[in-house]
Amino acid sequence: MKRILLTIILLFAATAVFSQNMQSYLDEYTRLEGTFAQRLDLLESIRGAGMTGIGEFYHNALKYFFTRITDIRTRSDQEIAERTVILLCQELGTEKYTAAAAEIWQVADFFDVARGANDGNAMQTALIALGDVDAKDFVPHIVQRLNNFNTDPKINPENRRRIQMAAIGCIRALENLHDIRGYRPVFFVSVGTYDPPVREIASAALPNIVDDPGEVLIEVIQDTSSTPRIKQTAWNEMLRTRAPEASKAKVAAAAIAASWNYSTNNQSYLKNLKDMRKSAIDIIRRYGVPDNSVYPYLERSYSSNLNNNAPDYDEIMLTLNALTAVKTDEAVALLQKFMLEINERRRTGPWGNRERQLFEWVISCIGATGTRSVEIIVLLNTIERTTSYTPHERSMATNALRALGARQ
């Protein structure tokens, strides 16, 4: 009856929200003889009244809660205490009351799931509230907690459940805080041993944390402890970001390098690496070469297939298209080198379907670069006059010369 009466009174008072004097309610809340259950009833009544602009009241209530934690003696006390802090954190988050960040973190720490008595609800709610109140100073604390969860084996089913609840709280907080320091641990949730719904939450949060996580993803791709599956996932994450083209090209260069520098005989891993490399090469075609370090790896993508019993023509074509598109001196020099190698094979062998196909591709790419290289003009003139080439092949050299403005 007392609670019903209080609720009615509060409902009438709710129309004067911003001028509301909450001191009387705080006095009622902090009565020494009050029990956890009575205090929770009061909070629920105030929330039920729909009052807003009373973040200070909830903050003071939370601070008072911590003066009474020694009174928690029974399981019932524990449950009511958790319900109390859950309500307070939710309301402080709704109020976006940043001044309460330290006390909200205190809730997360006090109800840490590392302590077996806590079921994860309070910690999750407090972590989410930290994001809601824009508690940027607590990003390192949240990151550390999530890193700890990521390395926990999570074998025991109940322990796994509680950790995953807290991990979701960390993800939600870091998603709202938009701090690049939160990107890496959330990424490792998305590729970790969590249940699929948790991994999906992490994956969905990643694009909202930061627009350009390029530097973080480069570290993941280059990390020798990252498996090819993780490296490829990191690369794919970069593709769906809102990062600028230059940043994507920079990560692409790292992905190509990592794909060649990782040694493995695992066929699944080799496929991860090749798929990542081919996708990254295409990004280089679209956005350009970030630095000269990428050229030796592009040459390797071509040459390794040229000398392979089962060449990947798709990778060859992607590499040639990338070199043609960037049109740098270094790119043209590689195309010239490829043409010289093919010319040598035309003279001394072997000369088969592979060489014929590469001849057509490389000479067409050279023509598309618009280069004014004297060495290339001389090479094309030589091919045009060499009778060991077929008339069709010599005409392709003529067409390339025309494309370069060296023939009418």
Q: For 370, phi and psi rounded to 5 degrees?
A: 75, 20
Does residue 128 form part of some domain? no
**257 dihedral zone (left: phi>0; alpha: psi -120 to 50; beta):** alpha
Nearest one of 171, 120, 178, 111 to 146, comparing CA atoms = 171
- Residue 58 contacts residue 95 (beta carbons within 8 Å): yes
d(CA 30, CA 400): 88
Question: Burial code of 142-181, b = ≥16 C-beta within 10 A, e = fewer?
Answer: bbebbebbbeeebeeeebbebbbbbbbbbbbbbbbbbbbb
What is the pLDDT at residue 15?
A: 41
Check residue 257 and give its pLDDT: 98
Q: Is residue 45 part of a domain?
A: yes
Taking the C-alpha atoms of residue 15 and residue 50, their distance in angstroms, rounded to an integer, is 9
Q: Give the C-alpha separation, 321 to 311, whole Å.
A: 17
Residue 41 within any structural domain of the chain:
yes
Q: At what angle do helices 329-348 and 295-306 cross, to 10 degrees?
A: 20
pLDDT for res 1: 45
Distances from the Cα of 316 to the Cα of 32, 256, 281, 358, 396, angstroms:
79, 14, 10, 9, 19
The angle subtended at Cα 114 by Cα 111 and Cα 116, nearest 5°, is: 80
Q: What is the DSSP string of 243-296?
A: --HHHHHHHHHHHHHHHHH-----HHHHHHHHHHHHHHHHHHHHH--SSGGGHH
In terms of Cβ atoms closer than 10 Å to its own Cβ (0-12, 13-18, 19+), residue 355 is middle
Q: Determine whether 316 is exposed, middle or buried from the number of CB atoms within 10 Å of its CB (0-12, 13-18, 19+).
A: buried
CA 328 to chain CA mean position, Å: 31
Which residue segment(s) compose the domain that 378 sits in? Answer: 327-408
Considering the domain boundaries, does residue 366 fall inside one?
yes
Tokens 């970790």 belong to residue: 192
Distance CA 17, CA 27 (A): 18
Output the pLDDT for position 153. Answer: 80
Single out the residue in 78, 96, 114 at which a domain terminates: 96
pLDDT of residue 11: 44
The residue from 31, 64, 96 where one domain ends is 96
Whole-Å CA distances, 384 to 266, 343, 369, 373, 391: 45, 11, 19, 17, 9
Q: How many CB atoms lie within 10 A of CB 89?
A: 29
User: How far is 304 from 308, CA to CA, in rounded Å?
Assistant: 6
* Whether this model's pTM surpasses 0.85: yes
Total domains in the chain come to 2
Instruction: Give the pLDDT of residue 33.
Output: 82
- Does the residue 350 lie in any domain? yes
**In the chain, which residues have pLDDT < 70?**
1-20, 117, 408
Q: From CA 102, how far away is CA 63, in angstroms rounded?
A: 10
- CB contact at 8 A, 380 and 397: yes
Structure tokens at 385: 């006059």
In a domain, 390, yes or no: yes
Report phi then psi at 186, rounded to 5.
Answer: -70, -40
Q: Is residue 55 part of a domain?
A: yes
378 part of a folded domain: yes
Measured CA to CA, the distance from residue 406 to residue 377 in angstroms comes to: 7
